[in-house]
Amino acid sequence: MSKTVLHIDSSPLGERSVSRQLTAKVLDVLRAKDGDINVVTRDIGANPLPHLSGAVIGAFFTPPGQGGPSVAEAIRLSNQAVDELLGADVIVIGAPMYNLGIPSSLKAWIDHVVRVGRTFRYGANGRPESLIPPGKKVIVASSRGGIYTDMARRNLLISRRPIWGQFWFFWG
């Protein structure tokens, strides 16, 4: 049975992007290892999801079947991104570092897929619990420019951890 791979590229640099080159190599390795894979590509560098708006956040908290067509349309892109995530066996994310953080397009994608009731829930103790089916693998191909050998500059890389924490906390 063919594996489904969700391939996320977030660099706007196209062919000049190092993170895109890295995700292409990861896909080559997966194809060599697993043979036939079904790749679903979401290029959020070229076609970013919109940043969250009040209408979208409101729609996230509207019970299913309520709110009418305007609510359904407000979360259509988010639902599509969540469906892609949940349908994948492997997620490959190209994550360059710009201005000491990930691109805003990748942050927007994370905001759309970290969803109460879709990808996590709050348990009885109030702590988040994953709704992601077990067994999914995530590969992050990260790139950055500059030299980070001294401690002061190395600490700049730590600035990336909070955003990934937001993404990984619900993974289980």
For 135-145, b where at least 16 C-beta lie within 10 A, e where not — what string?
eeeebbbbbee
pLDDT higher than 80, residue 139: yes
Global pTM value = 0.87
For residue 66, name the pLDDT band (cuts at 50, 70, 90): confident
Q: What mean pLDDT value characterizes the chain?
A: 86
Would strands 3-9 and 120-122 be described as parallel, antiparallel, or unpaired? Answer: unpaired
